[in-house]
Chain A
Amino acid sequence: MKNIICKSCGYENQEGTVLCQHCGNPIEKNQHIDGNQNSQLLNMRYEGSARRSKTYNKSIVDKLWNFFSSVRVGVWLIAITLIASAAGTIFPQEMYIPPNVIAAEHYRDQYGIIGQIYYQLGFHNLYSSWWYMILIALIGISIIIASIDRVVPLYKALKMQKPKKSESFLKRQRLFGSTEQLSDEGKQNMISNLKKNRYKVTEDNGHVLAEKGRFSRWGPYVNHIGLIVFLLGCLLRFVPFMYIDDFVWVREGETVVIPSTDSLYYVENKDFILETYGDTEEDERFKEALDKQSGMVAKNFQTNAVIYENTAKSVVGEEPNLEMIKEDSIKVNHPIKFDGYALYQSSYQQDEFKSMSFKLHKTDDEQEESLGSFTIDLANPKDEYNLENGSRVVIDQYFPDYYLDEGEPRSETKYPRNPAFVFLVYPPGQEEPEISFAAIGRNVDASGENQFKLGLQGFDVRDVTGLSLRRDYTLPIISLGGIIFMIGVIQGMYWQHRRIWIHPKDQGIWISAHTNKNWFGIKKDIEKIIIDTNVNVVDQEEQQQKEQKEQKEQKEK
């Protein structure tokens, strides 16, 4: 490794430098790094500083480092991730297919052979697949290393800027102008014009550097830091303490423990409300649209909930000592929040049975005159019920969610969705019971000899609300990442680093200008600055192209 002595000013530059960090003179043997040629305008990328990755390439660590530092690699990674992401939207992801189907069959039946391949390749869970995660991780690594590699030399280069630049540097800027007649007053005028346009002016022996918007050069690095913070936040979600995600069903009137809170919190569902459009006069304006719809259009899902904290330091399963901490409604878009947790309205079931009332009457009584009645609380049925006329009804079997399994009555779940009973009816003074089976819309007398019959008198229903629980301590980190990213992007995109050099000659001056973006803007600035002088600044790139075109046209002629 050898440092390079600038031929123009004698400054000692680091190996790999493209433009002398002191005077800007191009270092001949390194021009190829940015694709420069002597005849062309200078490429001002990274101020022509020595990017570390371009210079050392020895050990495996260095090689790896250089790989990730390359913008080319970064863009390829972005492109591959882009295509992979798009592939994941061809068919729905597994989380969006109906919950009660088998994924393998669903993709085959719905989308045929292509669906089957899609499933086999694991595209149905693409975004949580290991290779997609690795892609994202590689982008993250590339962002970090590429930033480290560029920000340090760029910082050094911008810090040590000198107003005096080599003539070769100035001449080969895209915007260049000169004059052989300029009075001192005229030059002072230009300087004060520069200041008027909010340029920061430094002078050195008649050489002038005017600069503005330098901070925008840090924009890319700031937004990359934002992205890193964001990715870090996402990474932390894998720490169980940082991120909790659970779900609970709560029936109206019930108080249940909120899962994943170590039995510390309980929620009560006071009422579940489902409103649809078309009920009120206000909804008249939607009539046309509603008429077109076949079903109902929901207006509001709401749970009136109470949150309790268990203050007893009890063992799990013991009776809690509940203290109310919050009472509020939970609606879609309006979760209830407490102690870092949030409960969201995410599902519901309507009209689950709550209680059923039966009345006893004589089997042959066409009037079905009641001999006594009783109500069963389906969440807590009693063993037996004593009726007014002295009869006794014993519950022999209870099936909350009744179905027939090869002739055998069974319950499908524990929820009273289709309650059924086997009753033993003891008429007054009788020891031998009559057996009868009662369910919604059914009453079966197996023996056919029952003298008494239990008729369904009525029932109560209640709604069930489904609430999602979240605690996400990574949100502040993720938000911070987002904010930093936005600051960085705006800083880099809405401002530009503009520089204008004024170089004194024996007669008159030279003027050159560079901006990292928005040439239109800097040209307008220069117009304002050289007003009242005879300086003529030209866009050398445009000129070159014009000349090329003319040459071409002449050849054709």
Chain B
Amino acid sequence: MGDLASLSSNFLYLAFILYLVATFFFGGTIKDKRSEGTKNFASKMAIILTIVGFISQILYFITRWIVSGHAPVSNLFEYTTFFGMMLVLAFIILYFIYRLNILGLFALPVALLIIAYASMFPTEIAPLVPSLKSHWLYIHVTTVSLGQAILSISFVGGIIYLIKEVDQTRRNKKTTWLETIVYFIFATLGFIIITSSFSAMNYTATFEFPFEDQISTVDYQLPALAGPNDGTLLTENKMSPLFEVPSWMQGVNAAQKFNTLLWSLLTGLALYALSRLVLRKRVAAALQPFLVKVNKDLVDEISYRAVAIGFPIFTLGGLIFAMIWAQEAWNRFWGWDPKEVWALITFFFYAAFLHLRLSKGWHGEKSAWLAVGGFAIIMFNLIAVNLILAGLHSYA
């Protein structure tokens, strides 16, 4: 069993590396003079590597399933990794409809970031609690994540459109928003870099603090910028906090999570500042020249098509299957749990997107901004709802 478990994680590593290499090949297709076609060497290699990586990740999924005895979609690591896999699948599907290389150059990094982000959470094989023991776990989770993944491709289309189209000659509201998106991507990267660096050093600092009339302890895996309210550092030779979180920030891990958030944002800021220094212009402005050849109508259409395909799948998985399961498990098909509400919000958002596009003629740039907004909601549901707005779904 132990061998199979390590084989499983090796498959995941392999997939990650293959996606990374494939991204470089997709990057190679830009410089190619004949980049409109998909018949050249770089683009063939890129898509083949992507597919091989995807197969490798499927092998990870299957072997882990065999080891644990249940589909590996039951905790934050497993679900997020699966979401990354579905993102690659969604990309492959749309790639074979539209044969657009540039899509891979943006979609694969998003998938890579998500998989890397996932591995920051506990990766041990955990048992299933009774409420998750149902076939609906597989059915609900797989469809919802495929739906969200296809909707995310809409974001990829949207961001390509925006980088290409937003006027970069002078600073304006649009460029600021675009840079904000870039910054959040850097902050995610920052989270991954800072968490894995300190965990490689085995950094731990324990704090003691009063919580609900008792003394609790909390372990920091990052140096404490923000310590718990009224907390005392127990571990020796570790950095003492620069400040304490305000008292309303409650919950056992609230301060520690806030500290991690702070680190991610700061590292993201550092990375962003560094990029600006190197590039000597806005990041999106630096990317713009690479997208000259992109057919913006095609990108707009892909972005919309992704919503058209993803919306029904998401509704089926995220609302209908979710309701059927909730009816079986908790005897009510809807309980206004934060995760449920955010699934409903996602549904509302894309419903509004479709109405605006079909009836009010929101094409091109407006539609692209909406696609970005939709992705922000999906990410909020994946990250913030699990970590901050605890509820029935908070695995972590």
Query: Measured between alpha carbons, how far is A503 from B129 in the docked complex, in Å?
Result: 67
Taking CB atoms and an 8 Å cut-off, the chain B residues in 283-327 that contact chain A are: 297-298, 301, 304-305, 308-309, 311-312, 315-316, 320, 323, 327
Cβ-defined contact, A494 with B312, below 8 A: yes
In contact, A478 and B341 (Cβ under 8 angstroms): no
Which A residues are in CB contact (< 8 Å) with B133? Answer: 300, 332-333
Contact B311 A299, beta carbon cutoff 8 Å:
no
User: In the bound complex, do residue A517 and residue B360 qualify as a contact, i.e. CB atoms below 8 Å apart?
Assistant: no
- Give the Cβ gap from A434 to chain B, nearest Cβ, in Å: 43
CB contact under 8 A between A494 and B130, given known A75-B360, A285-B68, A486-B320: no
Chain B, Cβ-Cβ closest to A283: B127
B356: chain A residues at CB < 8 Å are 75
Closest residue of chain B to A517 (Cβ to Cβ) is B308
Residue of A288, A518, A539 near B125 (CB, 8 A) is A288
B37 at the interface (CB under 8 A from A): no
**Other-chain contact of A289, B126, B309, B315, B329 (Cβ < 8 Å):** B126
B210 within 8 A of A: no
Q: Is there an interface contact between B98 and A520, defined as CB atoms closer than 8 Å? A: yes
Partner of B297, one of A332, A490, A542: A542
Proximity string of chain A (101-115) to chain B, C-beta cutoff 8 Å, 1 when within and 0 when not? 000000000111011
Report the minimum CB–CB distance from B14 to chain A (whole Å): 22
A340 to B348, CA, bound (A): 33
> In the complex the two chains form, is B315's CB within 8 Å of A486's CB?
yes
Residue from B305, B333, B385 within 8 A of A89 (CB atoms): B385
| Complex contact A344–B345 (CB within 8 A) | no
Determine if B278 is an interface residue (Cβ-Cβ < 8 Å): no
Residues of A within 8 A of B336 (CB): 88, 93, 95, 127
Residues of the B chain whose Cβ atoms lie less than 8 Å from the Cβ of A72: 360
Interface centre among B68, B69, B127, B337 (most CB of A within 10 A): B127
Give chain A nearest CB distance to B363 CB in angstroms: 9
**Which B residues lie within 8 Å of A79 (CB)?**
348, 352
Asked if A331 meets B298 with Cβ closer than 8 Å, knowing A71-B355, A78-B355, A470-B331, the reply is: no
A274 to B192, CA, bound (A): 39
| Also in contact, A478 and B333, with CB within 8 A (given A75-B356, A82-B345, A85-B345) | yes
Chain B minimum-CB-distance residue to A474: B333
User: What's the Cα separation between A298 and B126 when bound, in Å?
Assistant: 12
B359 within 8 A of A: yes
A129 to chain B, nearest CB (A): 12
User: Given A285-B68, A298-B129, A344-B331, are A89 and B338 also a contact pair (CB < 8 Å)?
Assistant: yes
Report B83-98 CB contacts with A as 1/0, cut-off 8 Å: 0000000000000011
Cα distance A86–B345 in the bound complex, in angstroms: 7
Residues in A whose Cβ lies below 8 Å from that of B332: 470
A289–B122 contact, CB under 8 A? yes
Q: When the two chains form their complex, are residues B341 and A85 in contact, meaning their CB atoms are under 8 A apart?
A: yes
Over the window 492-530 of chain A, the binary record of Cβ atoms lying under 8 Å from chain B Cβ atoms (1 yes, 0 no) is: 011000000000000000000000111110000000000
Please tell me if the beta carbons of B124 and A289 are within 8 angstroms of each other in the complex.
yes
Cβ of A468 under 8 Å from chain B: yes
- Interchain nearest-CB distance for B392 vs A (Å): 9
Q: Give the B interface residue count (CB, 8 A).
A: 63
**Interface residue B184 (Cβ < 8 Å from any Cβ of A):** no
A519 to B316, alpha carbons, bound, how many Å? 26
Asked whether A346 is an interface residue with its Cβ less than 8 Å from the other chain, the reply is yes
Q: How far does the Cβ of A80 sit from chain B's closest Cβ, in whole Å?
A: 10
Neighbouring A residues of B130 by C-beta, 8 Å = 298-301, 331-333
Question: Does A16 interact with chain B (Cβ within 8 Å)?
Answer: no
Q: B1 near A: Cβ within 8 Å?
A: yes
Distance A112 CA – B390 CA, assembled complex (angstroms):
18
Given A88-B336, A290-B127, A486-B316, A335:B341 Cβ within 8 A: no
What residue in chain B is nearest A81 (Cβ atoms)?
B348
B389 closest partner in A (C-beta):
A89
On chain B, the residues within 8 Å of A518 by CB distance are 301, 305, 308
CA distance in complex: A203, B324 (Å) = 49
Q: Is the CB of B328 within 8 A of A335?
A: yes
Chain A, residue nearest B362 (CB): A75
Return the CB mask of B53-85 against A: 1 if under 8 Å, else 0. Answer: 000000000000001110000000000000000
A49 → chain B, closest Cβ, in Å?
14
Determine the distance from Cα of A482 to Cα of B327 in the docked complex, in whole angstroms. Answer: 14
Q: Is the CB of A332 within 8 A of B131?
A: yes
What's the least CB distance linking B315 to chain A, in Å? 6
Closest-CB distance, A449 to chain B (whole angstroms): 44
- Residue of B whose beta carbon sits closest to that of A478: B333
Q: Return the chain A residue nearest B297 by Cβ.
A: A542
Which residues in window 290-318 of A have CB below 8 A to B? 290, 292, 297-301
Contact B67 A285 (CB under 8 A): yes
**B349 interface residue (CB < 8 Å to A):** yes
* A520 proximity list for chain B (CB < 8 A): 97-98, 298, 301, 305
Which residues in B have their C-beta under 8 angstroms from that of A45? 359, 361
CB-based contact A333/B359 at 8 Å: no
Which A467-490 residues have a C-beta within 8 angstroms of B? 468, 470, 475, 478, 482, 485-486, 489-490
Residues of A contacting B38 in the complex (Cβ-Cβ under 8 angstroms): none
**Residues of A contacting B298 in the complex (Cβ-Cβ under 8 angstroms):** 520
Centre residue among A277, A289, A299, A331 by max chain B CB count within 10 A: A289
Question: What is the minimal beta-carbon distance from B299 to any residue of chain A, in angstroms?
Answer: 11
Given contacts A285-B68, A542-B297, contact A333 B329 (CB under 8 A): yes
B362-385 CB mask vs A (1 if < 8 Å, else 0) is 000000000000000000000001
For the complex, is A96 an interface residue (Cβ under 8 Å from B)? yes
Chain A residues with Cβ below 8 Å from B359 are 45, 71
Most A CB contacts (10 A, CB to CB) among B1, B129, B348, B360 go to B348
The residues in B between 252 and 297 inclusive whose CB is less than 8 angstroms from any CB of A are 297
Least Cβ–Cβ distance between A453 and chain B, in angstroms: 39
* In the assembled complex, A130 has its CB within 8 A of some CB on chain B: no
- A78: B residues at CB distance < 8 A: 348, 351-352, 355
Report the Cα distance A89→B389, complex, angstroms. 7
Q: At the interface, yes or no: B113 with Cβ under 8 Å from chain A?
A: no
In the complex formed, the residue of B with least CB distance to A150 is B359
Does A286 interact with chain B (Cβ within 8 Å)? Answer: yes
Nearest CB in chain B to that of A79: its residue: B352
Alpha-carbon distance between A334 and B1 when the two chains are bound, in angstroms: 30
Docked complex Cα distance between A288 and B123 (Å): 10
User: Which residue of chain B has the shortest Cβ distance to A70 in the bound complex?
Assistant: B359
Q: Find out whether the CB atom of A489 lies under 8 angstroms from the CB atom of B312.
A: yes
CA distance A177 to B351 in the complex (A): 35
* CB neighbours of B5 from chain A (8 A): 285
| B344 interface neighbour in A85, A286, A300, Cβ under 8 Å | A85
**A332 to B325, alpha carbons, bound, how many Å?**
11
- Residue pair B352, A82 in contact (C-beta under 8 Å): yes
Question: With an 8 A cutoff between CB atoms, is A62 at the interface?
Answer: no
Asked whether any CB of chain B lies closer than 8 Å to the CB of A28, the reply is: no
Q: Which of A43, A96, A489, A490 sits near B361, CB closer than 8 Å?
A: A43
Contact residues in A for B331 (Cβ distance below 8 Å): 335, 342, 344, 346, 468, 470
What are 16 A-B interface contacts by the 8 Å CB criterion?
A71-B360, A86-B345, A89-B342, A96-B391, A110-B250, A112-B248, A284-B1, A285-B67, A286-B68, A286-B127, A298-B130, A300-B133, A333-B131, A335-B328, A468-B331, A517-B308
Which residues does A use to contact B, with CB under 8 Å? 35, 43, 45, 71-72, 74-75, 78-79, 81-82, 85-86, 88-90, 92-93, 95-96, 110-112, 114-115, 127, 220, 277, 282-286, 288-290, 292, 297-301, 331-335, 342, 344, 346, 468, 470, 475, 478, 482, 485-486, 489-490, 493-494, 516-520, 539, 541-542, 545
Q: Give the 6 A-B residue pairs with the shortest CB-CB distance, closest first.
A: A289-B126, A289-B124, A112-B248, A332-B130, A71-B359, A344-B331
5 further A-B pairs in the complex, CB-CB below 8 A; given A35-B361, A277-B127: A45-B361, A79-B352, A286-B68, A333-B136, A486-B315
| Residues of B in contact with A (beta carbons under 8 Å apart) | 1, 5, 67-69, 97-98, 122, 124-127, 129-131, 133-134, 136, 247-248, 250, 297-298, 301, 304-305, 308-309, 311-312, 315-316, 320, 323, 327-333, 335-338, 341-342, 344-345, 348-349, 351-352, 355-356, 358-361, 385, 389-391
